[in-house]
Structure 1
Amino acid sequence: MRHLFLLLAVLLPYAPLLAQVPAGRVVVAYLDSKLLARNPGGENPRRRVSVYLPPGYDAAPQRRYPVLYYLHGYAWSDSLVFNQDGLPALLDQAIAAGQIRPLIVVTPDEKTLFGGSMYTNSATNGPWSDFTALELVSFIDGQFRTLARPGSRGLAGHSMGGNGTLRLAMLYPGRWAAAYALSPAFVGPSAEYMANPVGLPAALRAPGRAALAGNFPGQITVALARAFSPELKNKPFGAALPGSLGPDSLARRDAVLPRWIAATPTYLLPTHPAGLRQLRALAFDWGGQDEFRHIPLTCRTFSTLLSTFGIRHTAQEYEGTHGSRIMGRDGRIYQHLLPFFNQHLDFEF
């Protein structure tokens, strides 16, 4: 008996972890996009969409749920978010612990031929902003039991997805109730990605996509160009790169970079403040030790600009790198993002 009491004393603090957590269900759907069909850049218009349905979804067929749209980062995908990052298990734990009430979570696959759509409308890649904010939302509302209204719709994402979160919140006012960006990339201009000393020369010398295989800086340079400075006649990538290998390199850079700068959330804000003002809440955060050094600097600048425009928001720098402290019980999603949406979304009719 004494040993039994000792065993119970040891296990008691771990009882919440040992208890079986009710599990949600993951559905992998496919959206044959009319908006992306026949895009000149050769992107596949059939897009995979991973959908998390909370515990109890099947047992209560009359119940409807709010939806959180979670946008993945560059070179990542919906499948990696759900399987490698373990988002469904984290959502199960968060719902069981009361971090957030049951909801539907949707992640579209926006990994393109060169790693990412940037969640941007492009004459080369296709209208990815419209696809995400309009076509995808309509598809989800038609396929699942959602609370199909802006007050029950949240938007979040990491890195490239954090950029997309800020971008879509601005460009589609009244579409979302709240937005939360994790380590958002490309928020403002920076030489780190606009004049990358490795990526730009590699992209300029590459005769095609195959030549950039395994070259992350080169691939992301092309991805940014196809999103922000598309030029269908420019071979081999259908985009204008910020420079050239010839004597006109400076002139090319001066012609392309203003287009990249104008596409950043920092420069979109002065002409699109209404979208952010209409949000119930806006938050973003970043690790102070982010390997992509432009992120802390541009996030701080963006927060200052938001305050200048009188837009209420929460911006926080924490001890962490680009990918650390995002997932897991101690991560930003569990500890901050999900409680944020629990507070700001409508969960009832």
Structure 2
Amino acid sequence: MKTLLLLLLTLLSSPGLRAQTSPAPAGRVVVTYLDSKLLRGNPGGENPRRRVSVYLPAGYEANPAKRYPVLYYLHGFTWNDSLIFNQDGMKPLLDQAIAEGKIRPLIVVVPNEQTRFGGSWYVNSATNGPWADFTARELVAFVDKQFRTLARPGSRGLAGHSMGGGGTVRLALAYPGTWAAAYALSPALLGPHPSYLPGPGLPVALRAHSAAEVLHSHPALSTVSASRAFSPNPQAQPFGADLPGSLGADSLVRREAVLARWVLATPAYVLPTRPAALRQLRALAFDWGAQDEVKHIPPACRNFSSLLTVFGIPHTAEEYEGTHGSRIMGHEGRMFQHVLPFFDKHLDFKP
């Protein structure tokens, strides 16, 4: 009897007799380009020809009459659409999420908004060009024309991480009625905080005489990028922006008027003038890691959640154990376990 049991166990454990897990049906990523009329001729020298990576779910080609909702995903500072798919693994994550029923088949659009100095911050700028209009208007119209979308606000979602998380909240405030729901992951610059006002990169940026001198310093790059977004001045050299400080004989002097422009551009200061914009969303959510290395994010998120409550805006805000990017992608990450189910619940999938 023991010999028979051992034989049965051996047979059941052999590779040929194990239950095989079928791979998730594979979607595909289409890389296309949008020649932006809005960004053309911007004073900051940003390329108006923008790459856009688009995830099309399995079955897209086989069902030519079917239309899909769209999730617009905004990448972070110094990141881009290609890295989202090829390094962060967005495509297999979407394939698996659809296969497991976390979300029904949909289109996911990631625009490349990496700029000469790391990122657009998804705002309109006199130096960089109108990136907010590009994202909310030109990109949406382009996608609806090029792909089989359910071209209506109820079938559009907006999400992003870090710079893209902050951009998600900014765009939801600035363009009500464009998206049904918004989810911001570790959103940057939601409100003012001493850690970035004016920030550790300012001295390097102030001493620089050319763009090349800040490209290898992440803090300086961040300062220049934010300055071009929030305190643009196309005539100011060498960056086309007013920097939030100046160098004295032996000290750094804050430029309060410039810093005030940064503060007034944050969602925390915009919200009181536009609360109705966020009320138009079916759902708003954001989350952040308690151990985020970007020090302003946890307190700014908590403060923004309190402000939303004051204005009676329904939302979900969650702090979890994690760093800035430790639990975003992957099967156990926030994107798979929280973001995609959120949009499955709040977007219209039927014509």
TM tier, smaller: over 0.9
Aligned match of 1:6: 13
Alignment of 1:42-121 (within 5 A): 42-121=45-124
TM-score, structure 1 normalization: 0.96
CA distance in 2, matches of 1:8, 1:317: 43
The alpha-carbon deviation at position 246 of structure 1 amounts to 3.2
Q: Is the 8 A contact 2:76 2:163 kept in 1?
A: yes
For structure 1, the residue ranges without an aligned partner over 5 or more in a row are none
Of 213, 216, 221, the match for 2:215: 213
Aligned match of 1:123: 126
Deviation per residue, 1:299-342 (Å, 9 max, x gap): 00000000000000000000000011100000000000000000
The DSSP-based 3-state class of the residue aligned with 1:230 is: coil
The alpha-carbon deviation at position 115 of structure 1 amounts to 0.0
CA distance in 2, matches of 1:8, 1:53: 34
Tell me if 1:229 matches 2:231: yes
Aligned match of 1:326: 328
TM-score, structure 2 normalization: 0.95
CA distance in 2, matches of 1:169, 1:66: 17
Of 242, 245, 257, the match for 2:244: 242
The alpha-carbon deviation at position 6 of structure 1 amounts to 3.3
Aligned match of 1:146: 149
CA distance in 2, matches of 1:293, 1:259: 21
CA distance in 2, matches of 1:148, 1:45: 24
CA distance in 1, matches of 2:16, 2:258: 66
Q: Which amino acid aligns with 1:260?
A: W
Q: Is the 8 A contact 2:34 2:52 kept in 1?
A: yes
| CA RMSD across the alignment | 1.6
Of 297, 300, 314, the match for 1:298: 300
Identity of aligned residues (%): 68
For structure 2, the residue ranges without an aligned partner over 5 or more in a row are 1-6
The DSSP-based 3-state class of the residue aligned with 1:157 is: strand
Aligned match of 1:175: 178
Runs of 4+ in 1 over 2 A off after TM superposition: 6-12, 249-252
CA distance in 2, matches of 1:251, 1:319: 37
The answer to which structure has the higher helix fraction is: 1
The alpha-carbon deviation at position 122 of structure 1 amounts to 0.1
The DSSP-based 3-state class of the residue aligned with 1:148 is: coil
The DSSP-based 3-state class of the residue aligned with 2:158 is: strand
Max Rg structure: 2
The DSSP-based 3-state class of the residue aligned with 1:232 is: coil
The DSSP-based 3-state class of the residue aligned with 2:318 is: strand
Q: Which amino acid aligns with 1:113?
A: R
CA distance in 2, matches of 1:241, 1:10: 67
Alignment of 1:255-266 (within 5 A): 255-266=257-268
The DSSP-based 3-state class of the residue aligned with 1:315 is: strand
How many equivalent pairs are there? 344
